[in-house]
Structure 1
């Protein structure tokens, strides 16, 4: 039976209707109120449900920091109209590169000037991190939860040398595992170059980075059977990228003059039917006139969430939000867009050994983030 709280509401309502909607930092502070709240909000079932309610936000990188180049990682929420100086950092500085993102976890590559390079898995919400020592000779194609085993796994790409030729191959690696990487082969007729994948329906989806023909298919990796297949794609004459749009797939591409962005949306996943939903004329002339730079290079990414579709245009150390009508919505100095997204999580994982999410130090680290 749910017991009433001092405010008159049952604990079940407070926990599953109120606390579950709080951002992670506020939720951790609420654990100090009473033992009931601390116990309930530390349970894995609650933390999974809490993570599911967090917004999935585009990740951006800082292009300048003072007078120096920086690679600070941040998230950007256009709905909150967050100004540039209030962007919340989610990663350390000093030669850190983002390689993969999944369920609030990041795979980062640390480049050391003393040749001590390493990969590590990192939770920006709890500041937990753990090194991954088996990946130095691989390209990371994507990260995913393997539902049959509840493991988080990496799909890796490597060239395997034999006596006759240089053969491309893929391997699977489970985070926290001491087992050798498992070779699973390479999909037939697949492009060697892939962009950031879109995870949906227990599968990773890519559109090739460089086209060899207009009828290039979408490459799909089934994360349950850990096998490849192909999906039909719309006829796209230029290079294109995939994104998630309201629980379905989207593909966007620019025309040859980089002024028009075409956005296709998958109407039916099973029948693989696509529809050209948006054709956005970017306000490039307005941007160049406003910032008095006609020679700077620019590019555009598509961000989607909660029914909104916006374009992130990177131009000369500025990041612009543009809506589907081609209207300039907002601008942020010193950032450029990535194709990764981030969704905060407090869910514990066994491959982390540096910190426990119930430890009070977690809150201190979130209040005063430090590089490591």
Structure 2
């Protein structure tokens, strides 16, 4: 039997022959090829995300709860899923659903190269997982909304910056706002009224300058990421003694549109009258103020705990190994409560093979449900302790960055306006 392709034209009805002529012309074939993607896209848009469930349930109750890696895999399954999960409202809702996980850094030497893993601690599973790998070591200068502000230096002992970058470890984007050598970097934050992401800077003297402005700076400055304007002076307000203060607390705690530091030290000993005060920068009013702190020893540290400010302190290892954790339940009253007094299981840890005698490091992070978690580093191990003083788990020792990261897939336009914008290239190491 002869195939239809060899059927004489006399056997083909006349209206089909005319149609065949129409679609056989080059212009018709080009038009047909152009219309196919649009037709497929329209069909995908009309098709339900899942046949068994309403789209609203699939999108806002299921897909929005996935971690970023799983969501990216779902996008590759169906065109409709990719379209529905790429809208700005969905990405904002997805980011809001992500857990805020404690950030850790671990460096290793491979020959003459030094690699760095950025890890997140799953509080419930008591496990560390790598979110990104770099081909060089970085230090954390700021963190907010899934973004990291990272710097490189000649060495650990050399405080001079050799690089400064803004990074989204989830989308693997990185760009540089410049070295900003004339400034100490105090923090990075979102400015809610404008939607900008900004850096808070403290002026300092330096021989070279990135901007055509005097190098003898006093006070504080704000730089909008992606802006081509130089840092804008915001002064000190009534807190003039802060101009040359030393913000040793590192990355501040961001809460209620404010940045909080504890402790801050002053160059003039006569100004050390704020031993029990937090320094606060209001990112909306762009002004500084002070808040009361609990009466605690000098070696005390601030952290965020379930939407509240917390301060923890540890006494000497030889006098009881007790950690006190204070919480500011009522922000307006500035009244602190001693929420936990934890006795560390030091003797038990010292008796374990992975817990040798010697130097130690303590960090307190916020866990799920408003609980605090204590991380005690000994040697090559990190011990995970609850507020009852119970040893929960043993992890490999890492350096805590004293911050938490909520991963995000939200696109940020400022990246492409910065220097050296790159996606998925160096310094990122491809994931295995």
Match of 1:21 among 65, 87, 96: 65
Task: Name the counterpart of 2:415.
Answer: 352
The Cα of 1:227 is off from its aligned counterpart by 1.1
Indicate the structure whose relative CO is greater, using CA pairs within 8 Å and at least 6 residues apart: 1
* Displacement after TM superposition at 1:40 (Å): 2.1
Residue 312 of structure 1: how far off its partner (Å): 1.4
Say yes or no: does 1:202 pair with 2:257.
Answer: yes
After TM superposition, give the deviation of residue 111 of structure 1 in Å: 3.7
Which residue in 1 is equivalent to 2:391?
328
Q: 1:296 aligns with which of 338, 347, 358?
A: 358
Cα contact 1:314–1:337 (8 A) shared by 2: no
With 37-46 and 18-27 compared, the bigger mean Cα shift is at 37-46
Structure 2 gap ranges (5+): 1-45, 207-215, 267-271
**For structure 1, which segment, 54-63 or 186-195, has the greater mean C-alpha deviation from structure 2 after superposition?**
186-195
Residue pairs, 1:242-257, within 5 angstroms: 242-257=302-317
C-alpha distance 209-281 of structure 1, shift in aligned 2 (>3 A): farther
* 8 A Cα contact 1:322 1:329, kept in partner: yes
> Structure 1: any 5+ residue segments left out of the alignment?
none
User: In 1, distance between residues paired with 2:363 and 2:372?
Assistant: 11
Correspondence for 1:222 among 269, 282, 297? 282
TM-score (normalised: structure 2): 0.74
Deviation readout 1:212-267 (Å, 9 max, x if unpaired): 46742111111111111111111112221111111111111112447221100112
Separation (CA, whole Å) in 2 of partners of 1:264 and 1:29: 42
The 3-state SS of whatever aligns with 1:73 is strand
TM-score by structure 1 length?
0.86
Point out the structure with max Rg over C-alpha. 2
Within a 5 Å distance, the mapping from 1:27-46 to structure 2 comes to: 27-46=71-90
Q: 1:125·1:366 contact (CA, 8 Å) conserved in 2?
A: no
Larger mean CA deviation between 223-232 and 208-217 belongs to 208-217
d(CA) in 2 for partners of 1:102, 1:345: 10
For residues 247-298 of structure 1, the C-alpha deviation after alignment (integer angstroms, 9 at most, x for no partner) is: 1111111124472211001121111111001111112222222137665211
CA contact (8 A) 2:182 2:205 kept: no
Match of 1:72 in 2: 117
1 CA distance for matches of 2:354 and 2:172? 41
Q: Distance in 2 between matches of 1:220 and 1:63?
A: 33
Q: Distance in 1 between matches of 2:274 and 2:351?
A: 35
Q: Does residue 318 of structure 1 match 2:374?
A: no
- Number of equivalences: 355
Q: Kindly indicate which of the two structures has a greater share of residues assigned to helix.
A: 2
Contact conserved, 2:186 with 2:247, CA < 8 A, in 1?
Answer: no
Measured in 1, the distance between the counterparts of 2:286 and 2:363 equals 29
Q: 1:262 to 1:213 in 2, by over 3 A?
A: farther
